[in-house]
Amino acid sequence: MPLFSDLHPLGQRIWLDNLTRGHIRDGRLAQLIAQGVTGITSNPTIFHKAVTETADYAAQLEQLKETEPDPERRYEALVCEDIRAACDLLHPVYVDSGGDDGYVSLEVAPRFAHDESMTVAEARRLRGLIGRENLLIKVPGTEAGLRAFEWLVAEGVCVNVTLLFSLHHVARTFEAYIRGAHRWLEGGGNPVQLKAVASLFLSRVDTLVDKKLEALGTPQARALLGKTAVAVAKLAYQRYQDFFKGNEYFSYLRAHRIRPQYLLWASSGTKNPAYSDLLYVEPLIGPDTINTLPDKTLAALADHGEIGATLHLGIAGAEADLVELEALGISPTQAGEELQAEGVRLFAESYDKLIAAMK
């Protein structure tokens, strides 16, 4: 039975894709950290489930209804308490890693996904509200979101760029990071203060592309079922190598101790029961990466995960799979655009439901 720390010598960190007050109070989060979990991601869907399906927030919410008239600020009061507590639990990891790990993510309200100035303003506000150095502000990888991301990096804000679904999204994110990092360094910023990750969503890619393949129904199409997301991830890692290991533009930043922007595998819980429950874990283990896992997938990894360096394997096959998809008339880039638009919509819906639960 592997510990999550068993992946550390291979260069990968495991984060928990879930944050609830129950996990904090009953000691489960502290236990997971002791076993090698080194970060946490959260989103409106996760918090909506925690608030509506547990009694952990009921008493505080009733008190807030008497003192805070704005439902959105009530939500922030609840979530900020959890975020600060999680940041504090992970702070030793942050210190031991020299600021490279031990982060907790908090998302800017999804309604600002296409508003650059408001994303920047909200990121600044949330950063000040939490008041913890190991906080990552989540912004979406939309066009406006990436412009905001570049601006925030130039201010020294640590950011998790979310809702990335394609190689195009990943490349645009890396470009924005490098531009922002240059501005931060040229302005006299502390290079080791910067930290950013790029969250590439996986299971949703296969869900959409598999539907398109099933609609075609040919043997060639069926042979590609369940292969797209892992192929995109492996090739995204090749892009990472190109941008941050062999890129002369980044070499100046690297010489000045600016960190690369790590890839983070998100949406890594398998949705299709016909596939391995570790489909988005075992084939994607490699240096300078993070995998954020929901509780069920985390338990599966601890129970029967096979640990080994795999991210560098099967690159030619991954390239061939995406070429074959294009030949069948399915564009992974276009699928990424569809998924990002849907992701923004779904997070906005979850956020609206969450705020409604505060009333």
CA distances from 346 to 25, 293, 350, 352 (A): 29, 19, 6, 10
Per-residue pLDDT of the chain (359 residues; tens, 9 = 90+): 568 999 999 999 999 999 999 999 999 999 999 999 999 998 888 888 888 888 999 999 999 999 999 999 999 999 999 999 999 999 999 999 999 999 999 999 999 999 999 999 999 999 999 999 999 999 999 999 999 999 999 999 999 999 999 999 999 999 999 999 999 999 999 999 999 999 999 999 999 999 999 999 999 999 999 999 999 999 999 999 999 987 777 999 999 999 999 999 999 999 999 999 999 999 999 999 999 999 999 999 999 999 999 999 999 999 999 999 999 999 999 999 999 999 999 999 999 999 999 98
Residue 178 φ then ψ, to 5°: -65, -40
Residue 16: domain span: 4-356
SS3 278: coil
Count of domains observed in the chain: 1
For residue 49, indicate whether it is catalytic: no
Residue 80: is it exposed, middle or buried by C-beta count within 10 angstroms (0-12/13-18/19+)? middle
CATH code of the domain covering residue 25: 3.20.20.70
Taking the C-alpha atoms of residue 26 and residue 327, their distance in angstroms, rounded to an integer, is: 52
The amino acid at 55: A
Question: pTM of this prediction?
Answer: 0.96
The contacts of residue 28 (CB under 8 Å, 6+ apart) are 22
Catalytic residue among 49, 65, 138, 271: 138
Cα 210 from chain centre: 23
- Count CB-CB contacts under 10 A for residue 310: 17
The contacts of residue 355 (CB under 8 Å, 6+ apart) are 71, 72, 75
Task: Identify the CA nearest to 31 among candidates 298, 304, 305, 308.
Answer: 298
